[in-house]
Amino acid sequence: MKKILILFIIIVIFIGGCVNNSEDRFHKYLDNNKLTFRSDLKEAEKIPIFINETSCKYFLYPEIQYTYINIAFIPNETENSFYAVTGSEIGKYVIIYRYFYNFTPEIKVVQVNSSKEAANLVDSENIVILLLGPSQTNRTGVSFYNNFVIIEGKDLSETNRTWTDLDLAFDKFLLCVLEEANKYIKK
């Protein structure tokens, strides 16, 4: 009986450890508010930031309050649905933004013909987030240019996972912004 009880306790501890570890892979906090992500954040943390990681701060810059968040994409029949799913994660950025500024910017979805056209949307009132799939890029990562960010995903397959490279790159962007937000909150 004693052995069964010990075995039961060990199994409960093991299962509890597995559940807690798996939960941490999909959650982060903004102050004390829990945010749930679609992709494995341990994998998202590995995604490279190609250009200007310090520009992440422009997405929560205290002196600038943006009126619009533009989700831009170059239309592609096989990739549009992936852009829609990944773009829907913008809600987490809006939560961070609203928490930080007590203001909710308007979200616009914009079809563009090129990265240059998306960059031309940037001004003092606009943040632009350009999503690029494999028809436009051969790499996965994030590039910051002040209040313009390019999020690239070279593989949109979900083999052995429920997220794509584009999801991972978008979550890397969100993790960067969340880190900046938590720095300001702690000041």
Phi/psi at 55 (5° precision): -70, -10
Does residue 138 lie in a domain region? yes
- Closest Cα to residue 149, out of 178, 125, 169, 165? 169
Does residue 86 lie in a domain region? yes
Q: pTM, whole model, 2 decimals?
A: 0.82
Does residue 8 lie in a domain region? no
pLDDT at 3: 54
pLDDT at 14: 53
pLDDT exceeds cutoff 90 at 78: yes
pLDDT digits (tens, 9 = 90+) for 4-49: 545 445 555 655 555 444 458 888 888 888 888 888 999 999 999 9
CA 34/CA 41 separation, integer angstroms? 14
Residue 152 burial by CB count (10 A; 0-12/13-18/19+): exposed, middle or buried?
buried
- Assess contact for 69 and 90: CB atoms under 8 A: yes
pLDDT at 141: 95
Does residue 132 lie in a domain region? yes
Does residue 51 lie in a domain region? yes
Domain of residue 61: give its range. 39-186
- Closest Cα to residue 73, out of 158, 4, 156, 13? 156
Domain tally, the chain: 1
Torsion of CA 107, 147, 43, 133, to 10 degrees: 70
Does residue 179 lie in a domain region? yes
pLDDT digits (tens, 9 = 90+) for 138-176: 999 999 888 899 999 999 987 777 889 999 999 999 888
- Closest Cα to residue 98, out of 173, 33, 42? 33
**Residues recorded for the chain:** 187
Task: Report the Cα–Cα distance between both ends of the chain, in Å, rounded.
Answer: 55
- Assess contact for 105 and 124: CB atoms under 8 A: no
**Whole-number average pLDDT of the chain:** 82
Does residue 9 lie in a domain region? no
Tell me the HSE value of 185 on the side-chain side, using a 13 A CA sphere: 16
